[in-house]
Chains A and B, each alone.
Chain A
Amino acid sequence: MNIFAAIGRVFLAFLAQTGRLTLFMTDSVTSILRPPIYWTLIGQQMLRIGYFSLPVVGLTAFFTGGALALQIYVGSDRFGAESFVPNIVVLGITRELGPVIAGLMVAGRVAAAIAAEIGTMRVTEQIDALTTLSTNPIKYLVVPRLVAAVVTLPLLVLVADAIGVFGGYVVSTESLGFNGAIYIKNTVDFVTHDDVASGVIKVAVFGFIIALMGCYNGFHSKGGAQGVGNATTNAVVSSSILILAANYFLTSILFSR
């Protein structure tokens, strides 16, 4: 019977966790439009989440675009279709790799930072202090981060798209012998608004996931330094998994149109 008890306990814990997360999410989302709205904090978070993620996201996008160009060249060369490299690079970057790479990099950078900051505030009673000072911690801490992530990640992914395509361009022209002008013309002719828009929609959802998981894990951390450490790990792991899962479902929805 013990094994059933163990399975049951895990299942119940999972349900409780899902319930807590759902309540937390509902509370956070419904708080977005209820005053007071902390514009300064939203601005600060946009800077921290969006702007300061630019170097990391830009670098990874550049190398991903370059590697993508090489791989596609290797594949398409086998049946003489290497002229499609620019088309497939831009498609791959805008529809898939740009948003996913940006999402995962920001998950590592930002979800961890949010969870560590809010987790420390939880264990040092700063969140309780907010409550006693008549300030709703959800509105003060969670809403600015959620809004900032959902607004800035699409902007970030537009930059990542451009840099990723540029990475492909550099590799193709420098080591694969493509003509630069033709490469750019093929890229621009081929890419459509829908390609870019589908990536932007996806990454906005990823931004929501990142901020939500960072805040949720931070809020529910307990027990000092180790608790904050666990919260940080959980924030990164859960947001990464949710991003990849959401990516599949969003792609299948956006693809079917």
Chain B
Amino acid sequence: MTQTGDTPKIELRGVKKRFGSKVVLDGIDLVLERGHSMVVIGGSGTGKSVMIKCVLGILKPDEGKIFVDGQEVTRLHGRAREAVLRKFGMLFQGSALFDSLLVWENVAFGLIQGRGVARRRARDIAVEKLAKVGLGSEVAMLAPSELSGGMQKRVGLARAIAADPEIIFFDEPTTGLDPIMADVINDLIVSTVKDLGVTTLSITHDMASARKISSRIAMLYKGKIIWNGPTEEIGTSGNPYVDQFIHGRAEGPIKMEVRS
């Protein structure tokens, strides 16, 4: 599958992160090839969010290195970090729309603040991106609080793709949505990814969503990647941890830690 001679889009080498005495990431090694859609699955509290926040530089890993397009980004900050972040779009779990701004201002935020695009031009782009996620221009003038959860997700997606990123991260894109809306969002993700030709990294514990939006799946357990392979092979991984997770069984090698 690997395109020969190509540097991976994102690479994590031995990334470790702990909070106090709690080890969250215990040496993550992960390679994300250009144009791939990877989904990282794992139970709640296994460090999936922490992992992508480390890549984005929102959290600093304690050990290990992170590369984006072959460039080490682990210790970047200030301008250099902002330059790297221009390659990224991110859809947050709760959409994380700015409630003090209108919908179109949310979508255009990265264009206006991050890249200095003029407001009028940015607004046209915002309306265009909203159309891409199936929202009419009348939504543009609403406040985020006036929208339903599913519509907020769409606006979040429009914001993530507004600045034509090369990489998009999806944090639990279907959590909190009804099954039909979840599938609508999945379809949207698949079609946008195909249209834009971007590389994506998603985290989820929704297996239906994971199967639909990924070309590869990796499983995170106890701070380590315990399985990594093409999506078609997830059912026949032979890994008892993966099997337990994808079938959602309470019994198996994974013991739920009720107390964190």
A residues adjacent to B (C-beta < 8 A): 36, 121, 124-126, 128-129, 131-136, 140
Contacts and interface: CB of A to CB of B under 8 A. Distances in A.
B113 A134 contact: yes
B56 A133 contact: no
Interface of B: 53, 56-58, 82, 85-86, 88-90, 92-94, 96-99, 109-110, 113-115, 159, 163
Contacts, number: 52
A125 B113 contact: no
A128 B94 CA distance: 12
B161 to A, nearest CB: 12
A128 B114 contact: no
Contacts of B159: 133
A36 B116 CA distance: 10
Contact of A133 (B57, B93, B99, B109): B109
A126 B96 CA distance: 5
A131 B113 contact: no
B56 A126 contact: no
A129 B113 contact: no
Given A126-B96, A135-B109, 12 more contacts: A124-B94, A124-B96, A125-B93, A125-B96, A128-B58, A131-B57, A131-B85, A132-B58, A133-B109, A133-B114, A134-B86, A135-B114
Contacts of A124: 94, 96
Nearest to A117: B100
7 contacts: A125-B92, A126-B98, A131-B57, A132-B89, A133-B113, A133-B114, A134-B110
Contacts of A126: 96-99
Nearest to A129: B96
Nearest to B83: A134
A132 B98 contact: no
Greatest chain B CB density within 10 A among A128, A134, A140 is at: A134
B94 A132 contact: no
Contact of B82 (A128, A129, A134): A134
A11 B89 CA distance: 42
B73 to A, nearest CB: 13
